[in-house]
Amino acid sequence: MPSVAEGVKLGIQECQHQFRGRRWNCTTIKDNLAIFGPVLDKATRESAFVHAVASAGVAFAVTRSCAEGTSTMCGCDSHHKGPPGEGWKWGGCSEDAEFGVLVSREFADARENRPDARSAMNRHNNEAGRTTILDHMHLRCKCHGLSGSCEVKTCWWAQPDFRMLGDYLKDKYDSASEMVVEKHRESRGWVETLRAKYAFFKHPTERDLVYYEGSPNFCEPNPETGSFGTRDRSCNVSSHGIEGCDLLCCGRGHNTRTEKRKEKCHCIFHWCCYVSCQECVRVYDVHTCK
């Protein structure tokens, strides 16, 4: 299904948006089957986020394709045709997120059938990403009537905006649960499972992200870890957060240069109906890590 590839791309784009100001900014490598390089080889919280957001992206894109009628394998969700609510009735095309989740599960979990800790971690985080969509399905409505009077309102079951899902998963990344690996002897042989590292923390739910290996600091280039370092990255000189020059540049300091940019300015609206603008040159300070 083309929507599967579209969903993976959607997940990568969201990852790059969410991590745009961090030392690891979800960099991808062109012409490489392992598009993130060695970063995903480790069971870090970065790996956890990538698996979750990519799995969610596939489910989201497949569900959207079904609702738009661009896939012959699926359509609208017929389950939401029951009694209407107060002041509205069912209409439009309810999005079948359950089908999207099913396709994502078959795609993302296909290679995660080994009895080891990494497969257990990947399956958990894949499911956490997909569950995010199911948890945030909501009614979307449209008004009908003279002059927008909303005499009749039709509603359908819809997915949230994917940016909202990305924000939610980013919060889950920040609060991800560190795990330890345990081995058990079963009839099929040794099986690895995960448990929370710290007993005084609550056990992670199916909606939490999990990991069991620490992350590199991503300050310097390292081919073994997949770190590209932060040299020449733009930083925010006025911020004390992770995107600020102090933290992003790992204490190496930063360079500042001026940059001229052409921008539209002094725009005027003419009746009726167009806008005319002048072109101004503005000077900005650009700060980059040493």
pLDDT given for residue 84 in this prediction:
65
Taking the CB of residue 155, how many other CB atoms lie within 10 A of it? 20
pLDDT average, residue stretch 28-40? 80
CA dist 92 and 141 (Å) reads: 9
Q: Is 230 exposed, middle or buried (0-12, 13-18, 19+ CB in 10 A)?
A: buried
Amino acid at 225: T
CA torsion, ordered 38, 43, 49, 55, to nearest 10 deg = 90
Sketch out the chain's domains with CATH numbers: 2-76+96-136+160-217 (no CATH), 230-289 (3.30.2460.20)
Measured CA to CA, the distance from residue 8 to residue 281 in angstroms comes to: 39
**Do the Cβ atoms of 208 and 177 come closer than 8 Å?**
yes
The reported pLDDT for the residue numbered 58 is 97
pLDDT at 37: 86
Angular region, 282: left φ>0, alpha ψ -120 to 50, beta rest: beta
Give the DSSP letter string of 108-127: HTTT--SSSHHHHHHHHHHH
Q: Is the preceding peptide bond at 272 cis, omega within 30 degrees of 0?
A: yes
> Is residue 147 predicted with pLDDT exceeding 70?
no
Please compute the mean of the pLDDT values over residues 205-217 and round it to a whole number.
95
Give the relative orientation of helices 2-18 and 97-108 as an angle to the nearest 10 degrees. 90
Condensed to tens digits (0 to 9), the pLDDT of residues 67-103 reads: 988 887 888 887 766 666 677 788 878 899 999 999 9
> What are the E-state strand segments in the chain?
89-90, 138-144, 152-158, 177-186, 189-196, 210-211, 221-222, 227-228, 254-270, 274-289
The label of the residue with tokens 């948006």 reads 17
- Per-residue pLDDT at 246: 95
Over residues 53-73, the mean pLDDT reads 92
Mean pLDDT to the nearest integer, 247-266: 95
pLDDT value at 265 more than 90: yes
Could you tell me if 80 and 156 are in contact, meaning their C-beta atoms sit under 8 angstroms apart? yes
Q: State whether the Cα torsion 5-7-11-14 is positive or negative.
A: positive
Location of structure tokens 């009614």: 139
